[in-house]
Amino acid sequence: MSLRFELLNRDPGTRARRGRIHTPHGTVETPVFMPVGTQATVKAVGQDDLESLGAEILLGNTYHLMLRPGEDLIGALGGLHRFMAWDRALLTDSGGFQVYSLAQSRKITEEGARFQSHLDGSRWLLTPERSIEIQERLGADIVMAFDECAPSKVDRAYLEESLARTTRWLHRSAAAWTRGRSALFGIVQGGLDLDLRRRHTEEVCAVDLPGYALGGYSVGERPEEMHASVAEVAPLLPEDRPRYLMGVGTPVDLVTAVASGVDMFDCVLPTRCARNGLLFTTEGRLNLRNATHARDERPPDPGCACYTCRTHSRAYLRHLFAADELLALRLATLHNLHHYLELMRGARRAVEEGRFGAYAEDVRRRESGRAPAA
């Protein structure tokens, strides 16, 4: 296989794991958060920033790169790593989430999903075979099977039909996968129905793959519902393969899922919140647009060692946002990504030291704004 997973430590009080993924473009320490570079860029920051932050793997998106600039162009220019000047690991989403997010402009059939482009209205067909072909042309280290991400709350009959189709699409994705430099991950769906989640887990894991993912979460359900479902399903995935929770979430979501045995995460939340002036800090969330920060000389997060917090004040950052200066977006994004990556570094240390339960509770306490325990 082009991917090898080492399970290094287990936390004695939870299901949290400490691992290491070996890819053709370097080692990824787990648990890991993957910044989202949908269109071959993480918004507002450069690849040098991401390297300085310690990011070891980024995520790109098949649907968006297929539309613009196209996988043929990227392939002709040396693949996605060379195209975006990123020599560390890359994972590409299959485009399956767009089956959910573009519900008003797509039609699902057994063949695949027909989309109307959000760019120019042109019509496209994305099939399991086409998705794998595009991802391999892009040259990602980890590629995802094509699936349907159904809404979390739909009737059982539709969900069963969707799961059966996703399983058939998985087999077609696996047949199209060339087993070259990429590693294919299967995706478990099933909404919040635990019986269907368990059944689909068995179907997906019956296909021998380098890794497995949980999809279809954080699509409208309450966080408590998602946490309870992940806690039941994640331990059913093979222990000797990476476990990936797709599109999730807040710091509390991440540490709760790590406690359930999840290894990999991605989410647009830290970068999207940063562009709107909302920072995740060791003291809770901070809205830089608030007028109360206009004369505040303190760093955004006194407990943070990122460039933004070492260098700039809340007053300066509020000014940048008020003036619509582009630097505001970069500085806020640097901080939020540092916060998420440091969250995972702390999680890895906590698992190694056998204290992950206390670490997760501390994160929950900080996020809620409660004072530390005496």
Distances (CA, A) of 142 to 4, 57, 212, 231, 244: 11, 10, 11, 24, 11
Angle, CA 33 vertex, CA 325 and CA 364 arms, to 5°: 90
Task: Give the number of other CB atoms < 10 A from CB of residue 187.
Answer: 27
The torsion angles phi and psi of 25, rounded to 5 degrees, stand at -115, 35
Q: How far apart are CA 166 and CA 181, in angstroms?
A: 24
3-state secondary structure of 99: helix
Q: How far apart are CA 33 and CA 30, in angstroms?
A: 8
CB 339, CB 280: distance < 8 Å: yes
Which candidate, 367, 300, 305, places its Cα nearest to that of 332?
A: 300
278: which DSSP letter? Answer: E
293: which DSSP letter? Answer: G
Q: How far apart are CA 115 and CA 104, in angstroms?
A: 9
20: which DSSP letter? Answer: E
CB 293, CB 62: distance < 8 Å: no
Q: How far apart are CA 332 and CA 277, in angstroms?
A: 7
Which candidate, 110, 147, 121, 122, places its Cα nearest to that of 132?
A: 147
Q: Which of 11, 49, 93, 253 does the annotation list as catalytic?
A: 93
Question: Tokens 């040396």 label which residue?
Answer: 78
Active site residue 193: no
Q: Which helix (H) or strand (E) holds 161?
A: helix 156-176
Active site residue 266: yes
Q: Which of 141, 253, 263, 266 does the annotation list as catalytic?
A: 266
Q: How far apart are CA 345 and CA 54, in angstroms?
A: 10
Q: Which residues are known catalytic residues?
A: 93, 266
